[in-house]
């Protein structure tokens, strides 16, 4: 049987998925890995753990299929976006990777915005925020000059892993666009932007198309994983670009709500629509773009709650082979809408849309003697959904068509959360059958190796919807009342966030 393979490195873990040419899942495996938060607002990962997760998940997939990787046509690696892996002259990782949700470069952003804001936006189509590689590099330059001097190569997460698989040195235009080192108009690295942080352009990888075959599986990797040596590997793209595609979003005007580490409300567009409150990316569907409004901590906030409030329950569920998130959902579902006045703001790692404030902090507001764990769980689900609703308000500047919305990401496994989002948005949302970045990556690999004529054919043959969530408009009305209070608290918190940042510096 002919097969395609996608391996995705989300911020929370690695998912590997093997599909056939009709989009049926033949094998899948998942492995979580940690982020390190050494200081409030900091977020790093150890690239060695990605390679380990690749070997484990790929091997697990092989053992799930009677004929192993027989019939495999191609592989795609995707990952959370534009995290810079810095390599020295011997190809060794210089320091752990500063992730896209790391907030330490707030000061560097302020400087870059003041000094070069207009020029940066004109070239890169993005405003400097701590998400991007450019200000993060400036932070390393100022704070770890000895590390900065050692940089001979810079790769992004998916490129680092794919390079280990094939030996190539390249990236694709989606990741390049997220670096803020890229000239989005000319579609090449920008000397001007690189000069701003004293980075020689030569350390950056060659830029290829997402679906281009850029190498083949090395024999050494074949021995470690069972992947066929010589298997074609495409350049790949960001997890979001692959995941939005996997949800069937291929047309102008389609909206995707993503409940992953990041929360996204994205819009597919025919052209780039740069704006200072959104992010602008070329899409995995060639020729299209997507506009992103984003909240930094979405499903990761639920994982944080799992690890900090539910460790005993998790241990027990793990022993019994149950999913602790189901138990958290059950507790949350037993609590009434609005949690009797308990509100949550999910700004656990600063916030992007609409505040763009690296100092923003999360909170539970309105705690009273009546509140139990289930209230906190529900308040978290509602608070994240409010934060996404905040994003939607920004996106409404770009479209008034709210009829074609899909919901994806690990958090969408929770029917309760999807319903809360639908109620808060007051909109119908559809859930695809297999939306995962690894599934989307496998489809893109199929396009790259010629198994499908193009992205539209792949989508038409393989992507199916599973369920629709309909909003309860009575609930929507109550939520809108609560949203006003949610906003009031966030709007008045700016000076407190600043003081807390100074206090904990
Ligand atoms: N059953 C569930 N209910 C709610 N949230 C879940 C469930 N299963 C997983 N999640 C959330 O999904 C997240 C992982 O989603 P994923 O899309 O893989 O994220 P990422 O790509 O950022 O790693 C976890 O952090 C977890 O909080
Ligand atoms: O696009 C960005 C950063 O600009 C992020 O949204 C990451 O790509 C997050 O991916 P997940 O791990 O949340 O899937």
- Our mutation pick for probing the ligand 2 site, out of 32, 80, 289, 346, counting the most ligand atoms within 8 A of Cβ, is 80
DSSP state of 42: -
Q: Do 442 and 380 lie in a common domain?
A: no
Q: Where are the alpha helices (DSSP H) in 22-156?
A: 47-64, 106-124, 133-143, 145-150
**3-state secondary structure string across 431-479:** EECCCCHHHHHHHHHHHHCCCCCCHHHHHHHHCCEEEEECCCHHHHHHH
Q: Phi/psi at 156 (nearest 5 deg)?
A: -95, 165
- Check if the interface score ipTM surpasses 0.85: yes
* pLDDT of 222: 98
Identify the residue whose tokens are 């704070």.
Answer: 143
Q: Do 232 and 310 lie in a common domain?
A: no
- Our mutation pick for probing the ligand 1 site, out of 256, 266, 325, 410, counting the most ligand atoms within 8 A of Cβ, is 410
Confidence of residue 504 (pLDDT cuts 50, 70, 90): very high
Q: What percent of the chain has pLDDT over 90?
A: 99
- CATH number of the domain within which 410 lies: 3.30.420.40
- The Å distance, Cα 44 to ligand 2 centre, comes to 14
Nearest CA to ligand 2 atom 9: 80
Domain enclosing residue 350, as ranges = 297-430+471-501
| 387: three-class secondary structure by DSSP | helix
pLDDT in tens, 30-87: 999 999 999 999 999 999 999 999 999 999 999 999 999 999 999 999 999 999 999 9
Q: Give yes or no for residue 440 having a pLDDT over 90.
A: yes
Please tell me if the CB atom of residue 240 comes closer than 6 angstroms to any atom of ligand 2: yes
Tokens of 38: 């050494």
* pLDDT of 139: 98
- The Å distance, Cα 298 to ligand 1 centre, comes to 9
Average pLDDT, the chain: 97
Please tell me if the CB atom of residue 132 comes closer than 6 angstroms to any atom of ligand 2: no
Q: What percent of the chain has pLDDT over 70?
A: 100
Residue 264 domain flag: no
pLDDT in tens, 313-340: 999 999 999 999 999 999 999 999 999 9
Looking at the structure of the chain, the number of domains it has is: 2
Distance CA 100, CA 238 (A): 12
Mean pLDDT to the nearest integer, 341-361 = 97
- The Å distance, Cα 223 to ligand 2 centre, comes to 31
pTM: predicted TM-score of the whole model, two decimal places: 0.96
Residue 267 domain flag: no
Nearby residues of 491 by Cβ (< 8 Å), 6 or more positions away: none
The sign of the torsion formed by the CA atoms of 206, 209, 213, 218 equals: positive
Confidence of residue 185 (pLDDT cuts 50, 70, 90): very high
Q: Of 290, 292, 296, 317, which Cα lies nearest the Cα of 306?
A: 317
With vertex at residue 315, the alpha carbon angle to CA 312 and CA 319, rounded to the nearest 5 degrees, is 140
Q: Do 74 and 176 lie in a common domain?
A: yes
Mean pLDDT to the nearest integer, 419-428 = 98
Contact criterion met (CB below 8 Å) for 306 and 322: no
Nearest CA to ligand 2 atom 10: 80
| Number of the ligand 2 atom closest to the C-alpha atom of 298 | 13
| Number of the ligand 1 atom closest to the C-alpha atom of 262 | 22
Confidence of residue 466 (pLDDT cuts 50, 70, 90): very high
Distance CA 383, CA 363 (A): 10
- The Å distance, Cα 262 to ligand 2 centre, comes to 5
Identify the residue whose tokens are 């000059």.
Answer: 145
Closest listed ligand to the CA of 100: 2
Nearest CA to ligand 2 atom 8: 80
Q: Do 335 and 393 lie in a common domain?
A: yes
Q: Do 34 and 126 lie in a common domain?
A: yes
Please tell me if the CB atom of residue 172 comes closer than 6 angstroms to any atom of ligand 2: no
pLDDT in tens, 81-136: 999 999 999 999 999 999 999 999 999 999 999 999 999 999 999 999 999 999 99
Q: Phi/psi at 72 (nearest 5 deg)?
A: -70, 130
Mean pLDDT to the nearest integer, 419-447 = 97
Mean pLDDT to the nearest integer, 12-37 = 98
Q: Do 4 and 65 lie in a common domain?
A: yes
Please tell me if the CB atom of residue 179 comes closer than 6 angstroms to any atom of ligand 2: no
Distance CA 285, CA 335 (A): 42
Q: Do 362 and 452 lie in a common domain?
A: no
Tokens of 15: 């998912």
* pLDDT of 505: 86
Distance CA 248, CA 458 (A): 10
- Ligand 1 — pocket residues by CB below 6 A? 10-13, 239, 260-261, 299-300, 302-303, 323, 325, 329, 409-411, 413-414, 417
Contact criterion met (CB below 8 Å) for 193 and 199: no
Q: Do 412 and 447 lie in a common domain?
A: no
Residue 220 domain flag: yes
């Amino acid at each position: 049987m002919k097969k395609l393979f996608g391996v995705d490195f989300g911020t929370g873990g690695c998912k590997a998925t093997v599909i056939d040419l009709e989009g049926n899942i033949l094998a899948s495996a998942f492995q979580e890995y940690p982020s390190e938060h050494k200081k409030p607002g900091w977020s790093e990962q150890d690239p060695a753990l990605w390679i380990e997760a690749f070997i484990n998940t790929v091997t697990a997939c092989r053992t799930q299929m009677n004929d192993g990787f027989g019939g495999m046509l191609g592989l795609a690696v995707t990952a959370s976006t534009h995290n810079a892996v810095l390599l020295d002259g011997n190809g060794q990782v210089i320091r752990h990777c500063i992730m896209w949700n790391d907030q330490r470069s707030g000061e560097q952003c302020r400087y870059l915005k003041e000094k070069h804001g207009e020029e940066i936006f004109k070239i890169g189509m993005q405003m400097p925020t701590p998400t991007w590689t450019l200000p993060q590099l400036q932070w390393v330059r100022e704070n770890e000059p000895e590390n900065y001097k050692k940089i001979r190569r810079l790769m992004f997460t998916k490129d680092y892993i794919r390079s280990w698989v094939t030996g190539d040195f390249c990236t694709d235009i989606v990741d390049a666009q997220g670096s803020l080192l890229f000239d989005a108009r000319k579609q090449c690295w920008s000397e001007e932007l690189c000069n701003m942080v004293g980075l020689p352009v030569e350390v950056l990888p060659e830029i290829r198309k997402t679906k281009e075959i850029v190498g083949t599986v090395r024999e050494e990797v074949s021995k470690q994983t069972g992947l066929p040596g010589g298997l074609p590997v495409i350049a790949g793209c960001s997890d979001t670009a692959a995941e939005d595609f996997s949800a069937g979003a291929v047309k102008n005007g389609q909206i995707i709500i993503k409940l992953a580490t990041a929360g996204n409300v994205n819009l597919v567009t025919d052209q780039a629509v740069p704006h200072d409150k959104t992010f602008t990316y070329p899409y995995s569907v060639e020729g299209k773009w997507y506009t992103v409004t984003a909240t930094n901590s979405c499903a990761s906030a639920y994982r944080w709650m799992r690890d900090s409030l539910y460790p005993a329950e998790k241990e027990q569920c793990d022993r019994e082979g149950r999913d602790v998130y189901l138990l958290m959902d059950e507790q949350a579902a037993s609590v009434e809408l609005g949690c009797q006045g308990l509100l949550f703001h999910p700004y656990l790692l600063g916030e992007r849309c609409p505040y763009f404030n690296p100092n923003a902090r999360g909170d539970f507001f309105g705690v009273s003697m009546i509140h139990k764990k289930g209230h906190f769980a529900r308040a978290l689900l509602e608070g994240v959904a409010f934060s996404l609703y905040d994003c939607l308000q920004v996106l409404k500047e770009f479209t008034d068509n709210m009829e074609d919305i899909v919901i994806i990401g690990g958090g969408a496994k929770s029917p309760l959360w999807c319903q809360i989002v639908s109620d808060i948005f007051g909109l119908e949302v559809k859930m695809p059958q297999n939306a995962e970045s690894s599934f989307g990556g496998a489809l893109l690999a199929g396009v790259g190796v010629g198994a499908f004529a193009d992205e539209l054919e792949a989508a038409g043959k393989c992507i199916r919807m599973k369920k629709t969530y309909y909003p309860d408009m009575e609930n929507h009305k109550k939520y809108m009342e609560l949203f006003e209070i949610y906003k009031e608290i966030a709007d008045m918190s700016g000076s407190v966030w600043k003081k807390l940042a100074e206090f904990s510096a």
